[in-house]
Structure 1
Amino acid sequence: MRNFALCLVAAAWLTMVQSAPQRAEEPIAIISQESNIEPDGSYNYNYETANGIKAEETGTLKKATSPDSSDVIIAKGSFSYTSPEGNLITLNYAADDENGFQPQGDHLPTPPPIPPAIQKALDYLLSLPPAKRR
Structure 2
Amino acid sequence: MKCILVFACLLIALCLAAPAPDAEIVNQVSDVNADSYSYKFETSDGTKQEQHGSLKNLGPEDDALQVAGSYSFVDQDGQTHTINYVADENGFQPQGEDIPQL
Query: TM-score by structure 2 length?
Result: 0.76
What CA distance in whole angstroms lies between the structure 1 residues aligned with 2:74 and 2:44?
Answer: 12
Q: In structure 2, what is the Cα distance between the partners aligned to 1:91 and 1:84? A: 17
For 2:58 and 2:86, the matched residues in 1 are separated by 19
Bigger radius of gyration among the two: 1
Q: What RMSD in Å do the two structures reach over aligned CA positions?
A: 2.5
Count of matched residue positions in the alignment of Structure 1 and Structure 2:
92
Q: Does 1:48 align with 2:48?
A: no
Q: Given the alignment, which residue of 26, 30, 49 partners 2:25?
A: 30
| Structure 2 residue matching 1:74: 3-state secondary structure | strand
Unaligned runs of 5+ in 2: none
Query: Paired residue for 2:84?
Result: 92
Q: 1: CA distance between counterparts of 2:101 and 2:52?
A: 27
Runs (5+) with no aligned partner, structure 1 = 112-134
Deviation at 1:85, TM superposition (A): 3.0
Amino acid paired to 2:66: I
Q: Shift in Å at residue 66 of structure 1?
A: 2.9
Query: Which of structure 1's runs of 4+ aligned residues deviate more than 3 A?
Result: none
State percent identity of aligned pairs: 37
Query: 2:99 and 2:76 mapped to 1: Cα distance?
Result: 16
